[in-house]
Amino acid sequence: MEPKDVSTAGDVAHLGALELLTPQPDKSLWFFSDVLGMEVVHRESTSVYLRGYGDYAASTLTLTEAARPGIGRIYWRASSPEAAARRAAALAAAGRGIGWTAGDFCRGRCYHFRDPDGHPMAIYFEEEKYRAPPQLRSTLKNLPMKYVGRGVNVRRLDHLAVLCRDVPANRRFAQELLGFRLHEQVLFDNGSREIGAWLSPSIVHHQLAYVVDVKAASGRLHHISLWVDNREDVLRAADILSENGIFIEAGPARHNNSQGFYLYAYEPGGNRVEIYSGSYLIFAPDWEPVTWNEEERGSGVYWGGALPRSFLEYATPEAEAPAERVPIFDLQ
């Protein structure tokens, strides 16, 4: 085990918010609000701001109208103003930085940057906590918002998985410049080819996953993931999605990697959304990343069965197949 870089580890507290692009803003809003049960807190220009009942921030998901689906901005909350400044300086020094902006609804100033694959990210500290209006106040003092019991009623934002051309480069970027820990990875060809990396700023299993893009495109989203508290909630989500005509691509089932209990659906704008529970916390400060080879990884489904081919190939926005195709493999 190498010693932790104390000056970097801990600067990012957690995944703060995600902006999702959708060419079907009304239908996407229906999906996240009526079917998944998220709460609309703000509208501005072509964006709608939402939240899960357990998110402490005013908003954690922004839906923004766009010509094509995909991930907009990925927001990381710093653990302090100083931590945000340290990360900004390091990102600038590494040539990854873009600059500070004034922030948007509920967030203060943000330092913008891109990962090597081009996904737009920002780090910030100042943030407005959620203050529920009277009709949405919970009877639990430690719950920011009432659990209303509407549809799937997801609790909070959990993580995202993005595709990239060069997994090692993006993984090292997250480790070195964001201070993330590598918790699990998939290595093929006797460990020489890195296929996927699951990273986290905390003891949560992962809040960012990088997986190789089989179409060799850039900046694409595999899925965003929303948390519910129990496996039964994921089953119930499958019932609700089915009743609402939402395509479930895979699951409910259990991954081997992460041990997470999942369901993958396509929201009406085309983006893949995971309803997620379970997994495990990584308490060990000297955790050695769990590494899976081709055989161990198998289909990625713990209980057996295979993920559909679309799970490997479909991402947002859609991309043409490259001239030279990257060999197929499974991912999570």
- DSSP-derived 3-state class of residue 237: helix
Does residue 86 interact with a second copy by CB under 8 A? no
Residue in this structure with the two tokens 């899960």, named with its chain if needed: 52
What contacts 261, CB < 8 A, 6 or more positions away? 231, 234, 251, 252, 253, 254, 255, 276, 277, 278, 279
**Interaxial angle between packed helices 81-93 and 167-178, expressed in degrees from 0 to 180 and rounded to the nearest 10:** 140
Phi and psi, residue 19, nearest 5°: -110, 125
Binding-site member from 95, 133, 134, 149 for a second copy (CB under 8 A): 149
CB nearer a second copy, residue 106 or residue 250:
250
Of residues 51-80, which lie at the interface with a second copy (CB under 8 A)?
54, 56, 77-80
Shortest Å, Cβ 154 to a second copy: 12
Cβ of residue 249: shortest distance to a second copy, in angstroms?
Answer: 8
Q: Which of 100, 105, 147, 329 binds a second copy (CB under 8 A)?
A: 147
Asked if 60 contacts 18 with a C-beta cutoff of 8 angstroms, the reply is yes
Nearest-approach distance from CB 147 to a second copy, in angstroms: 5
- The residue range among 18-26, 168-176, 200-208, 324-332 that interacts with a second copy, by the rule CB under 8 A, is 200-208
Considering the rule CB under 8 A, would residue 141 count as an interface residue with a second copy? yes
Stretch that binds a second copy, among 92-100, 141-149, 217-225, 324-332 (CB under 8 A): 141-149
Interface positions, 155-194, toward a second copy (CB under 8 A): 184
Rounded CA-CA distance 139/131 in Å is: 14
230 binding a second copy? (CB under 8 A): yes
Measured CA distances, 203 to 118, 141, 179, 280 (Å): 26, 25, 13, 9
Q: Are 226 and 264 in contact (CB under 8 A)?
A: no
Nearest to a second copy of 114, 146 (CB atom): 146
Among 153, 157, 179, CA closest to 83 = 179
Residue numbers 236-295 binding a second copy by CB under 8 A: 236, 238-243, 245, 247-250, 252-254, 256-259, 261, 263, 278, 280-281, 283-285, 287, 290, 292
